[in-house]
Structure 1
């Protein structure tokens, strides 16, 4: 009887684990996070963002930018602050524009549930999130949130400017067309650029 009970327990556990693996969520995008006190340490000085949004603190204070750099292999999302502002924390969620960014039932973003976040040392002005771009959907949305502090001690939350979430908060997300972002810009001086 003990052997039969043991066998049934094993069968039950095996069935549960198979069911869980069949219903597993897709593997999330993995980001490398780097922080610095100047942009030159993180990206090539010749790099040009394919999309730039203001980083807005306290609903109406422009404290920097959120820049998106993308090529055929990598995606970099870069938080930059203007002089006088520092990044204390960054939080980011990326994915399908309609369902991947964690929100409450009323449509407000759940920053504490964002997949990527980091706390930064005093004086941080640039933070870069980098990942492989090959697995991203053509239409991808980025919720870029930060906690910023001014040199005068003012502390605010900030969002990369974009479309508003459906909830009652002032939070926004950036809509990114990865297809146009990976297209090489045309060089007007190159006679072959129109071919």
Structure 2
């Protein structure tokens, strides 16, 4: 009888003790401070999850990214040589295609001209820099503007007796034009608004051709 009573009280004690062990759970949001799964710093403050680097870079790229594929390279070159006349010219240009309606850039140039007649020989040198912009209101039409500053120095030497004359100075120009856009090439009718007497551009209207790659 005693072993039976002892077994009964033992089972009762175990069952009673098991009933006193309870786990209360409360549903909380993931960022609630009571959430035991949050990472905490040494001072007990909640550590915020780091921002994804790729997302930050993507957002920054939309504002500050430089697209190399939109760079455009061109050059104005000229070469004409004969017994009494020589003309050499080179003018590299670099532009950036901002969008389908606008391209802008800058360039430099150097021209050398020598002409000889029976009475004199003249030599001209030109070193210049320019800014330019092409605006495309529609696909095949372009409007063009190019402000530039040129430094020119020249000599005039008589073929007979006489003193050699020299001249030099800064010559500004402001060329505007309009015409056709053919791919990345342009054929425009241009005009120098300033019409300086020493301007390297022809007087009145003249045809201009440019190509970019």
Give the alignment's TM-score, normalised by structure 2. Answer: 0.30
Structure having the higher Rg: 2
Structure of higher RCO (CA pairs closer than 8 Å, 6+ residues apart): 1
Give the alignment's TM-score, normalised by structure 1. Answer: 0.32
